[in-house]
Structure 1
């Protein structure tokens, strides 16, 4: 999560049994390159020691509003002014009530009254406490003020009951932090992204495919969601987990992908086709497994539908359509021809023969071509960085 690199995150830990998960959360934030300052309430220290979080964060943990050393320069105000984001995880019903009412009776709640940075809150409590009208009213008040709420998960609770109140998965919390740190430039927009390969079977256990990992498409979908867009990700078979906080549609064949993409494209402001769709499929798929013998096996291939060309033909006014081109020769010429033939606004082209480019890598080396003949050559970058640059380039078109 490169979005966290160089950011300062203040983590507030309150008195929930889920406080022990704060240690792993702090560890992940530091691993992502963030500087972490922890504040613990007195109740939180009953579940987890400040020494643990100090060791993980590399900074003294703030606990006492009246500590003469830490407060010699009005430390709580300095803490509020020096952070990029405040993350309260876990957040108890008591702390939520104090936040909603503006009560400042400990180090954390005092900082929260003074902070101007984004605030992310992760409730964790008994399900009856969470669903109580008072708690829901407090959460509604915080939402109105722009606080990001990470809804708790359902499942077994520490009290032995089961329900809605478990601290959300750490991956969802981290993704929400990234979104809160990202300008919401695509809020109100619908974005459709395709990713991964397609599988074209010729019997029940064998298929034709390509080495696409789906990483580029997934990175684009995540970045669009971080910018506030409603994102539909249409993915062929990959080993990647579904990105948190957006809708993933799983498909297998090119015809499956065409059906889902065409259904969703009508409402999309932006369509990015990053999937490596198989150009051909077996004419027939055998109902039973082919048995190996001494004879050669011949399979007749037929063309799959050209999803991107179909989208370009039916593109609605104002919609932006972006394609990808993976080539091994004549990169710019082939990509330019594809750009115009398929009525694209931009095309991202990469030469599979270059080091750091192509399938199953965490990096890529691309050229971005536009309809006016412009060609931007980008250096070898992580796919997350390419996703950020590409969406910046798309937003510069001004029609999303």
Structure 2
């Protein structure tokens, strides 16, 4: 979806945006003029203030430890099911909330490679997020496995052909990101997953830049495993817990390595020796981060109210606006677009490129314009559709242009 052959003003786009009114539901900031980093940390919703307060005075303050029996013990699963239904295209009983993204990735990667005994290779791309790459390096060393690298285009992403060239009968697991954190490129999940399954390997998809901004259909795509964070487009707040998806047919054959009492078959038996629970409970370890789950309810309600298709539509219009505005107003300074232009290949952020952007970013922050920088030369414009207006984006881009004018060419 593009917005026409002539670039309209941000005011015109906001006036015709059916989702424009939803920006008012988020808490604004007197210290930020343009927030262009919603793909790193989402804004809080105004209603979350009341929800957190009610949690502290009610479920925690009044009900106290009784709340574990009344709701908290099941919260990782009920909230996980809701994330699955609203954002992942996953049936109930396959998604759980708990731990950080890194810890959940470690659990599922270890479980997956152990489930393919005799296979000696793990595959990942060179442009995947550092945590994913570092974890695989550590696990490969820990388990005596070989790490096979896919050389991915930093301005594009991993394709089915690149995966086909990398996998073989020795591959145990492939770990890829649905949306490339640098370029915003959307991988063809069903095609790539099919390639991996044909060689008998498992696949784990990192959904950190997907859930809440781009429709996903994990069950339909026959995905094995997935992990994602909740502080980006799910607006769970800084350090909010991550979620893990495990296809139902795989659950009882996988054994994650961090054994804790919450993952045991009988949680309160306090038995000698660990016996894993069946289903998704076996992927828990310690006490769930209940307080960290509270804000997510509000954003999931909003996503359900609006519909992920409408959110995706606005995301495409916002990113299209950034690309076309940059090409019209920033190309004279040597700024280029470092990511896909095709709708089907573009997530909810756009990376602009220029050798000076590492210097430009702190200057923008001084003006209360908040994008982020990605090494070596990327200014990442992250657009959370429900909390971002076209006018806000235009103000941010105008400030980029103003600063570029002051720099030596």
Do they superpose with TM above 0.5?
no
More strand per residue: 1
TM-score, scaled relative to structure 2: 0.27
Q: 1 or 2 for the larger relative contact order (CA 8 Å, sep ≥6)? A: 2
